[in-house]
Structure 1
Amino acid sequence: MKYLKKNNILHLVTVLAVTLCFQCADNFKKVQQVGVLQNEPAGVAKDINLKYTDSGLLTANLLSPKMLDYSNREFGYSEFPEGIFLILYDKNQNKSTVISDYAIYYNETAMIDLQGNVKLATYKNDTLYTDQLYYFEKDEWVFTNNPFRLKSPSGDTYGNGLDSDVDFTQINILEMNNSEFQIDN
């Protein structure tokens, strides 16, 4: 009888130990998969040409050699490690262009973080040069806290920090440096 009890207890302990080992191994595999999903993009696209429309009108055209889609993250985004060329169209289909060496588009906020040799050129011959520029798609608003050069028909403006609409009709400059421009009457 003692032998049977010992045998039953030994079998029970063995079954529990094996069950726990399988459960731990299964959880470890799940943890490994989560780590891979969080560190890898959900998709990779090459030579993209995205066109955005609103009420049948073309509003933007995004061109890039490579896009990494991280929409699988809690705060999803798209990364453009090889830069972008973005054409923005206003209501009258006038074109403004944005160029940068690198960009990140945040899905939830509809904001683009442009970095490296950023150039924003409007149809009115105004051109902004800076190292980093944030573009808010919904408001059609840009800002930078970095040094910039704004080249316009009335002259060049240099400074640190700019906040403006994409047409440069409502500009706020934080700090102006060595600028030459004419003020129209």
Structure 2
Amino acid sequence: MINVRKMALLAVFLFSLAACENDMQSIMQLDKGAAAVEEGVKIESFYSQYGRVRAKLTAPTMTRYLERPAYVEFNNGLKVLSYNDSLQVESTVTAKYGKYFENDDNVLLRDSVVVVNKEGKRLDCYELLWDAKKGRFFSDKDVRISTPTDTIYGTGLESNQDFSDYNIINPRGQVTVQDSTLQ
């Protein structure tokens, strides 16, 4: 009887080992899925070029997706301060949503996008694309630009990244033009 008990115990043990067997492919798939996303909170990131700080990004949360094409999402908003060589703020960009495409170095900003430069010019729009390689902003949506003297509306925009030189593709509204002969 003792042998039967030992055999039954051995059978239960072997059965439990077989029942707990994991498929290696399944484990690798689970691990791959878990490693494809990185998350962060209270983000503060600095961008430097040639040893000089060029920009500071802050955001409450960030999610980075490593699958191709890799991208980073800022679902709870972001703020970017751009600096000159003397670390003075050249422009400020805020938005409620941002998506950075790592492969092509483009940033999509959406929902309550505001750009303000050191001259006090302000851009308000729903969506804005920043091409970091070209150092330019683009939009095909409605825009509003406020300066110390005017407010201009339009659809579509191209601008340099410090917002000192911009072009509204289809402007609307009144614009005050200074007479250059009065100087």
Mark the runs of 5 or more structure 2 residues left unpaired by the alignment.
1-20
Question: Which of 39, 43, 46 lines up with 1:44 in the alignment?
Answer: 39
CA distance in 1, matches of 2:75, 2:174: 33
Query: Size of the alignment, in residue pairs?
Result: 159
CA distance in 2, matches of 1:173, 1:60: 25
Q: Name the aligned partner's letter for residue 152 of structure 2.
A: T
Partner of 2:94: 99
- Report deviation, 1:91: 3.5
Question: Which of 69, 77, 86 lines up with 2:80 in the alignment?
Answer: 86
Partner of 2:170: 175
The aligned runs of 1:78-157 (5 Å cut-off) are 78-95=72-89, 96-157=91-152
Q: Which runs of 4+ in 1 moved over 4 A?
A: none
Q: Percent identity at matched positions?
A: 23
Q: Name the aligned partner's letter for residue 84 of structure 2.
A: D
Q: Name the aligned partner's letter for residue 33 of structure 2.
A: V
Question: Which of 160, 163, 166 lines up with 2:161 in the alignment?
Answer: 166
TM-score, normalised with respect to structure 1: 0.76
Q: Name the aligned partner's letter for residue 47 of structure 1.
A: K
Question: Which of 52, 55, 61 lines up with 2:50 in the alignment?
Answer: 55
Contact preservation (8 Å) 2:117, 2:164: no
When the two chains are superposed, the root-mean-square deviation of aligned CA atoms in Å is 2.4
CA distance in 2, matches of 1:133, 1:73: 24
Is 1:73 aligned with 2:67?
yes
Distance 1:34 1:163, change over 3 A: farther
CA distance in 1, matches of 2:179, 2:142: 25
TM-score, normalised with respect to structure 2: 0.77
Mark the runs of 5 or more structure 1 residues left unpaired by the alignment.
1-21
